[in-house]
Every structure is written in C-alpha cells, then in structure tokens.
Copies of this chain bind each other. A is one copy, B any other.
Amino acid sequence: MANNKTVIKNGRFLVPGAIKPVLSGYMTIEDDLISYIGEEEPLSEEGVQIVDGSRLLFMPGLVNTHGHTAMSLLRGYGDDLALQVWLQEKMWPMEEKFTGDDVYWGTSLSVLEMLKGGTTTFLDMYDHMDRVAEVVELSGIRAVLMRGVIGLCSEEVQNQKLAEAIAFARNWHGKAEGRITTMMSPHAPYTCPPDFFVKFVQAAHDLDLPMHTHMSETKREVEQNIADYGLRPVAHLEKLGMFTRPSLVAHAVHLNDEEIGILSRHNVGVSHNPGSNLKLASGVARVTDLLNAGVKVSLGTDGAASNNNLDMFEEMRLAALIHKGVSGDPTAVPAPQAMRMATEYGAKSIFLDKVGRLAAGMKADFIALDIDQPHLLPHTDLLSHAVYSASARDVEHVWINGKQVVKHGECLTLDEEAICRKAQESFEGLLKR
C-alpha cells in the first residue's frame, strides 16, 4: 500500500507533553494513521509520497470542543449589547427563521474557516443536524455532532425533539469513514426541566453515548438554578444522573470549590470558551483551579456570533493570557499547557482516543504552519510562537484522517467562492424574511 504512504522529511514537530517539546525529524503517515515519528530517517521506499518539511512547523490539528457552527451567519449581527438584548432582539428572532439551507451554508462557512485555520475536529450542538453532517462528510473534517434541544415547550414537542436527537445520534454515529461521532445534548439545565433532562440521560445510556450541555455560563443562571431547584448547577446535574455518563460541560465560568470537586470526581470535561465569555461579559472561568484539580479543560470558540471568529489559535492565546493577568501569576497556563488544552485535552474531552497528539498509532490529523515570517522570527521557541505569536492565517497545510484537505492555504474539499457567496445570500435572505 505504498501509494497510501507519505513521509515528511526535515520537519519540526510539536509534542507539547514531552520533555523536549520540539522534535526535529521525520513523520510517516500510512492510510489514516501516523505510523512513525522520530529523529531517525525511515528507510526509503518506492512509491512513497515525500513532503519537504523544512520551513514548516507541524502540530496536532486543533480541537474545538464547543460551538454552534451555523451561527457564523450572524457574525457581527448585534455586538456590544447586554446578553438578554442580544439574545431576545438579535439572535433568537433570526435563528427562528433558519432553514436547513441556512444551516448548510452557515456550517459550510464555518467549516471552511476552521479548516483553513487549522481546526481538524469540532463539536457542534445545533438544529438541522443532518445538514451539518452533510458538510462534515463532504469537507473531510472530523466532528462530534448533536442536536441541541431546548425543552421550554409542551411535552409533545419535547418528545418529538428528543426523538429527533436520538434518531440523529443513532444514524450518524461512526459515519463518514468514522469521522463523525455523536452525543446527547440537552441545551442547558435552565432550558430543560429536570424530568426532560433525565430522558436525555436515559437515552444516552440506551445508545451508550456521552453527554454535553451548557452549564454555569452566567452568574444569573446559577442564581436561578438555586432559586428553582435549591441546588447549584453541578449538584443539580449530578442529581439528574448526567455524570453517570461520560460528560462534557461548556463554559463552567461560575463554580465554587465543591463544584470543582464534583466535576473532578466524575471526570467531567470542561470546554473553556474564553473569547465568548469575555465578549458576552460572562466572566473569567477558574481554569487554573480546574486544571489543578485534574479536570480535563479544553477550548472552544462557541458560535461566531459571540466570538467573532473561529480562530482556535486565538482561544489558545486568550487562555494563556487572561489567567495570568487576572490571577497575577505569570506562570499560570504556560504555553505547553495551553496547546494541550487546544489539542490533546480537547480530543479526550470529546472521547476521541486516537486524536490530539503526534504519535505513532494516532490518527493523522495534523497541520503545518509557515514559520519563516517576520512575526514568527527569530526561531527561539517554536511552541511558544505557536501559542503566543501565530494565528489561523499562518496555517499552510492541513491533513485529516491521513488526507490533505488544505494545501498552501487553499481548501481542497470545499468550493470557497460558492460558500462565501451563499453565506452572504443566506444572511440577506434572513433579513428579508
């Protein structure tokens, strides 16, 4: 199978968990897997594709663990507003009008942005998920998908939405050469009454799938949870049985020590969304405390409407910067840890064992940065440059599942011109409807 084999020569490879985090050498890809990475040159073989790795920095593809991909259609539509005004006057009235086609083009726009920016895996919690899965299948990206369900409706509608979520999760799990996995996702404890939430836990058990939800994004939401149920959100979700399933919660900005203990004990992952949390003025999550308690903390962009881009380099940098500035400790969230949050911990948070690191036996999901540029020179510490100096725009090549999907900054799998035009038309159509 030599024609499915690629050797990268003379590259520099980031292995942020290692003692020596920048490895100079070689990496071999066979089919969808990394079969070798090391300093010694592999024996030459006929029919093997050779990639010249000099001038490039290779790193694991970025893993975006929370988002609502189609919301890129509303990027910049209502900024600098109070949260309730933004939601009630801007987001919800527009989202109500979203058709399957809108979701298709919004998702396409986001996936294009993510691929070109080095994100190789994303989580999406939204509606019209069949259309999202279509984009994933076509684009070559890896994704964990779920129908996000708001349960503030009649029991009949609730049950219908739950059935949809179950059908989607069952139909798509393992599809697109295994690039798609699924989860069960009630939207949030404040939008899903307890009895409805419990039905999701039961479904997750039945389907043997993990769970995802929004949790403790705002202070107000925590206070409301206490008023409604007499418990803070973490204890509330524990009581509803969510943590009997492998679980990931998004945001988790407002936590007390006891809640951090519960999350750690149940091995619940936290998707930290620094850009969105700052922009919506939700606050600054206790990331250092979570990491110290052994909680898996990963990074997410949230939807582009509250970010306002899907640049995971920016989330990595924000995570490395804000926790230093707010805590007063310049050693908080050092560069290797920020990078692991954006890659290895991200993959673990969404239960993908073979993604997130450059190592033999792992899926060949990796990216290459052009490092011969003024803002990435001199070459003092390339891991530091990737975290503190680089951006999505420095991504030169992207491989997912062993296939190259971005080459010299151009996406090989999607029609960029058509997507940009269709996304603009979709937005204009929403304004008119």
Contacts and interface: CB of A to CB of B under 8 A. Distances in A.
Interface string A262-285: 000000000000010111111110
B330 A80 contact: yes
Nearest to A374: B113
Contacts of A291: none
A362 interface: no
A75 B385 CA distance: 8
Tell me the number of copies of this protein: 2
Contact of A308 (B75, B86, B388, B420): B388
Contacts of A252: none
A320 to B, nearest CB: 8
Contacts of A423: 374, 377-378
A334 B279 contact: no
Contact of A334 (B79, B381, B385, B428): B79
A74 interface: yes
Interface stretch (A162-170, A224-232, A321-329, A350-358): A321-329
A380 B431 CA distance: 10
A394 to B, nearest CB: 8
A246 B420 CA distance: 48
A427 B376 CA distance: 13
A329 B330 CA distance: 26
Nearest to A329: B281
Interface string A377-402: 11111101100110111100000000
A321 B307 CA distance: 9
A92 interface: no
A308 B372 contact: no
A143 interface: no
A58 B141 CA distance: 34
B311 A76 contact: no
B281 A378 contact: no
Given A325-B284, A419-B374, A423-B377, A388 B279 contact: yes
Interface string A67-107: 00000111111011111001000000000000000000000
Contacts of A388: 76, 79, 279, 307-309
A227 to B, nearest CB: 20
A105 to B, nearest CB: 10
15 contacts: A75-B377, A75-B380, A76-B378, A76-B382, A79-B334, A79-B384, A109-B374, A117-B375, A278-B321, A279-B321, A281-B327, A309-B375, A322-B322, A377-B420, A378-B428
Enumerate the 9 nearest inter-chain pairs by beta-carbon distance, A residue then B residue, closest first: A278-B325, A393-B393, A378-B427, A80-B334, A308-B388, A281-B330, A76-B380, A278-B321, A113-B374
